[in-house]
Amino acid sequence: MTVPPLGTTGGDEGRIGLRANLRHIGALVRRNLVQIKHDPETLFDAVLMPVIFILLFVYVFGGAIAGKGNQQAYVQYLVPGMMAMMGMNIAMAVGSGVNEDFRKGVMDRFRTMPIARSSVLIAKIVVELGRMLLAIAILLGMGFLLGLEIHGSPLEFVTAIVLSAVFGAALMWIFILLGLSVKTPQAVQGMAMLVLMPLQFGSSIFTPTQQMPGWLEAFTKINPLSNLADAARALINGQGAVAHPALITLAWAVAITAVTMPLAVRKFRTKT
C-alpha cells in the first residue's frame, strides 16, 4: 500500500480542523517574524519607502501641483491618498517572497509537514499586513512632521487605516497567485510594475483628476485606488463623501479575494 506524504493527508485538507489550522497559522507567523528578526533588511521597503515618497512628492511636485507655498494643503491631500499606495507596494513583495521560497526549497519542507496548505499563505498575509501597518504608521508619522492634521474623529481615522489594510490584504492574493505562476522573483516584480504604475498614477492619489484628459478621468473613477484614496481623504480631513468610495473599495476587496484566494490556494496545492 502506498502511503501519502505526511503533509498531504491523502489530499484531503478538510481533515485538518479549525483549531489545528489556527495553530499552524500561528506557528508559521512566528517563523516568518523570526526570519525578519534575523534579516531586518526585509523591512527596508516598509520603513524607507514612505519617507522617500512623501518627501519626494511634497517638496518636488507639491509646489507644481498645489502652488508654491501651498505644501501644507498638499500634505492634507497626499498623505491619505498614499495610504492606498502603501498597501499595493507592500502587496507586491508577497508574490516575490512566495516565489523565492519555492526557489529556495522552503516549500518542499512544508510538503512533508501535516499542515493545511492554506495556512502557509494565510500566515504570509498576516505578516505582510503587519509590514503594511508599519509602513502606514511611518507615512502618517512623516505626515504629522510635515503638518498633517486629523480633522475627522478618532473612529474615522482608524477606519481609514482599516480600509487601507483590508484592500491591501485583498491585493496580496493577486500577487501570491502571480508569484506562484511565474518562474522568478524578477518576473513577479516586472509584471507587478506593469499593473502598479497605471493604477497608481491613473488615480486621485497624487493629484485631483479634474484636469486629466476625459478618457483618463473616466478611468480614475473606476480605479479602486482612487476610491480608496478618496475614502481615506474624506475620513481624515473630515469632509467629502465617504460612504460611496468606501463601499466601492470594500466591494473591490471582496471580489478580488473571492476570485484570487481560491485560485492561489489551488495553485499552491498543485505546486506542493
CA distance 159 to 77: 17
Per-residue pLDDT tens over the stretch 33-65:
887 777 777 777 788 888 998 998 888 877 777
CA distance 17 to 232: 38
Is residue 5 in a domain?
no
Domain assignment of residue 207, given as a range: 16-271
Is residue 155 in a domain?
yes
Is residue 9 in a domain?
no
- Answer whether 0.85 is exceeded by the pTM: no
**CB 153: neighbour CB atoms within 10 A?**
11
Per-residue pLDDT tens over the stretch 118-147:
788 888 889 889 989 999 999 999 999 998
Find all residues with CB under 8 Å of 154, minimum gap 6, and list them. none
- pLDDT of res. 21: 76
Is residue 92 in a domain?
yes
Is residue 62 in a domain?
yes
Is residue 8 in a domain?
no
Domain count, the chain: 1
Is residue 245 in a domain?
yes
Is residue 103 in a domain?
yes
CA distance 91 to 96: 9
